[in-house]
Structure 1
Amino acid sequence: MRGARITALLAACAALLLVLQACAQKASSTEPHGSTGNACDASAARFAIGMAPERELLDRMQRVTGASTVRTTGFNEMVTKEYRVGRLNVQLGTDGRIQQLTCG
């Protein structure tokens, strides 16, 4: 009888450890991507608001903001919501020109 209780207790502890491990893995996978210290300062590229998003301009914006990547999105375009610390988001207006800049 006592052996069966110990076996049941050990099985319950093992199950609890598996659940806690799964929770810990899920929590760490939701941390922001690109959190390697690549800070982005969108305000450094404000000079580009109202301009056409040409490749040379986007490259310059990436350099001055310190961004590791640049994502350009059109007006009302659906995008993923993942947060990336080092990404510069360039949002275009209905006229196809740069309307808003954010990092993340």
Structure 2
Amino acid sequence: MIPLRRTASPLLMLALALVSSGCISRSIRSDLHRIEQAARVDSLDALARHEVDPISAEEASRILTDGALDIEDAVRVAILNNRELRAQLREIGIVRGEVLQAGTMPNPMA
């Protein structure tokens, strides 16, 4: 007969691994949502992929000619024109993708 301690330990480890894998965020959606709220843009996914100009000339001139530049508009312009932020968003996506891939089981048929 196999001792209970020998069989319980691997089963406990397997259960712990399955439970902890559910805690990993599978997307950067929450990070993007916070930044989108601060920048008041529809989607930063397109911004990170350079599908959208960071800020249009009309938008920049409207913000600057509306009078006093308030903190919200200054932050918005800074976020939308920040190349380093867009690069970091891409890096976050790459790292999260690697974490997701590391946590998935390999295809046994491949």
Same-fold call, TM > 0.5? no
Higher helix share: 2
- Structure having greater relative contact order (Cα 8 Å, sep ≥ 6): 2
Higher strand share: 1
TM-score by length of 2: 0.35
